[in-house]
């Protein structure tokens, strides 16, 4: 793990791509992210991706698209923060192309709250799937 790719609050995987000015030199972060997300197990990862104040190139967007696609089997819920009006359009296309459900939210705290609610919903659904015998 690195300072940018790590576990934060309550087991959430943070992919901190914020403040990146030369994205093509940071493409290696995708490999780190894949490993950490996969380590959470299939369908278990809560992922918070922060792209605040970052620049994007075609290579960087393609790398993020591939990352989102590759992580799909491991992710329970995913949130994205830090989009500008322009990057919102780009990331809607990425989300559409990968078939992922990624919630766009306004801040990290808002994203953490939403992700934890997804875990709670998942756990209560799973508990209801197996009725208890009297």
C-alpha distances out from residue 83 to 39, 45, 77, Å? 27, 22, 18
* Domain 5-123 annotated CATH 3.80.10.10: no
Rounded-to-integer distance, Cα 91 and Cα 83, Å: 8
Asked if residue 43 lies in contact with residue 107, where contact means CB atoms within 8 angstroms, the answer is: no
pLDDT in tens, the chain (134 residues): 789 999 997 899 999 999 999 988 998 999 999 999 999 999 999 999 999 999 888 899 899 889 999 999 999 999 999 998 888 888 888 788 877 889 999 999 999 999 999 988 877 766 555 444 44
| Annotated domain spans of the chain | 5-123
């Amino acid at each position: 793990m690195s300072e940018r790719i790590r576990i934060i609050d309550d087991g959430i995987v943070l992919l901190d791509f914020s403040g990146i000015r030369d994205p093509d030199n940071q493409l290696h972060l995708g490999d780190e992210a894949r490993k950490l997300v996969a380590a959470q197990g299939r369908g278990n990862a809560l992922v918070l991706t922060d792209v605040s104040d970052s620049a994007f190139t075609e290579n960087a967007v393609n790398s993020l698209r591939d990352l989102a696609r590759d992580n799909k089997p491991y992710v329970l819920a995913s949130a994205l923060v830090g989009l500008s009006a322009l990057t919102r359009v780009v990331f809607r296309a990425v989300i559409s192309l990968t078939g992922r459900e990624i919630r766009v939210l306004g801040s990290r705290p808002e994203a953490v709250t939403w992700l934890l609610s997804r875990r709670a919903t998942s756990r209560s659904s799973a508990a209801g799937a197996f009725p208890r015998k009297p």
